[in-house]
A and B are shown apart, each in its own frame.
Chain A
Amino acid sequence: MAEPTGNAPEREPILQVRNLVKHFPLTQGILFKKQVGAVKAVDGISFDLYRGETLGIVGESGCGKSTVAKLLMNLERATAGEVFYKGQDITKLSGRALKTVRRNIQMVFQDPYTSLNPRMTVGDIIGEPFEIHPEVAPKGDRRRKVQELLDVVGLNPEYINRYPHQFSGGQRQRIGIARGLALNPEIIICDEPVSALDVSVQAQVINLMGKLQDEFDLSYVFIAHDLSIVRHISDRVGVMYLGKMAEIGSDAEIYEHPTHPYTQALLSAVPVPDPEVREARERIILTGDVPSPANPPSGCRFRTRCWKAEEKCATEEPLLAIPTRFKSVNTPAAHESACHFAEEKAVLAV
């Protein structure tokens, strides 16, 4: 696919991902390692990220969403494919050029307990990016900058000399966010930023992230498995299954007019905190587990759990495109979906 995905062609994408592939080799033997296969963690993914928007990526564990996050940062070398940041392919970069790009793409990690060094003070943690990129803040100015950042994320600037263990989970995640903001990046990649937090604290962190986005004109790639949170924060949503994008579109398109059976099943499985709505709606329960990415099913990868699967699904791989039957019609169902038998099915009782 050469044309940009999504529904906002007038804006320029800040990040373009094209056919991104990551295979982890499976080897046998100790001394003479030979490759016997590969775990196809990410297998040809394309999407665009526009300035100031939030792209949500959802999927079950093992679908490759965290690998995508690492590839976007070039923390893992891509097996094939490109990631263009302002026209520059970052998967080919190294050394100084990569360092410059990384200044603009930062990451917030899932677990605020292990992603902060317990032996460093909060000031050192948030100030560390300045050591690597000294041009952002001159040495004498750093302490003040760090205190500013603490204030921005809603922590008391006097906490600068405290250690991570003196903070609660939600506060630690704020520290992680402050560290991500330190270099004034354009893109922040958030890998499950709130899944380790309590419900009442989750809302605080989500609100903070929304506020920061407006304030600093940030673009987020928001990776999560909680569909209701993704919907709340995202402008566009991509659904991943076993290393492939199953469906991508605006949040209303995905949540109200899903056309891929996997998206429909995923949405219908979301626990709804209202017993009456819950009893009234239809639920699709998938059987079995996600197949191994080392040996994915032929054709459509979802076919082994799909109730619509036919012979065609086993032989022909469906491409991520707007289904032909919806192409000429102006309907919200006309968004990209990788299914031979894409059709609308309302699963969310609103």
Chain B
Amino acid sequence: MAGTGSGSLPRYIAQRVLLVIPMIWVILTLVFVVLRVAPGDPISAAVGGKLDADALAQRREALGLNRPMIAQYWDYLSSVAHLDFGTTFSDNQPVLRVIRDNGGATLSLTMAAFAIALLVGIPLGLVAGRYRDSIGDVVIRLFGILTYAAPIFFVGFLLQVYVAQPLGLPTGGASSPMTAFLVTPRTHILLIDVFLSGNSDAILDVLKHLLLPAVTLGLLICGVFIRLVRVNILQTMQADYVEAAEARGISRGKVTRHHALRNALVPVVTVIGLQFAMLLGGAVLTESTFNWPGLGQKLVDYINERDYGAVQGIVTIFAIAVVVVSVVVDVVNALIDPRVRY
């Protein structure tokens, strides 16, 4: 038994990373099949009824949609393997450029939302768990359920009316036009670019724009963290090692932080991975509500235009992002919990 455990960490990470390939393959296949199982095709959806059958067939041929399914599937796989995610049909742009131009805004939004959800959810869950059945616990649990159950557009609307208006905060967009004009795009992630520019007015402007969308999206998932941390704390406070630590005279605060909370947070890391998918879904709604120039907003536009090339590309990228996040979560879990590294 000696020497196992910590020594096998690199091997564990290698295994996880290798597993990404089959996972992405399955997802690519699903995306491909689902888009083609749906009735109709992009050409007839976009211009059906306006052109005669010959012209439609010509357009289908141009996009390769008349070729056998298996050949299209192979083309799709090999182009993704070459990091070519296709071209949008409606405005004829490489999907990667759409991702580059809009992905940054979505990334900033989801990360800020995660930060808010964790900063709010973990302390509230800890307090609720430590003071079980107190008034505070009841209020916190209600808060968690309400924020989880409330629709994003409704929470967003309430914040716009009752917070943004009185405080003079912006209710839409990622920055004021002036800031967008002043900041030179380097990473194509406005939040980072604005910090690189060092312009304090611009930084403040971008953060002000980010605040309400991030709070809206963060509140959606902070309820999940509140409930998870609360239940885990209740369990770990009863754990044998917590009593043993108390028997060694370790102070209350240290027992709670080092023993109870640390063990209670292990499942939270796993749930962060699971919530990432939900957050991407929530981002689509938040971006619509706050007119946020992100991928979610873009995706809605492309769906309305029946642009299946764009949808396929963006969904593929979303799916890959979820897979990559799940692997990162596995690795982080192994770093935190030595028992995971079998």
Our verdict on whether A and B bind, yes or no, reads no
**Interface, chain B (partner A; CB < 8 A):** none
A interface, CB within 8 angstroms of B: none
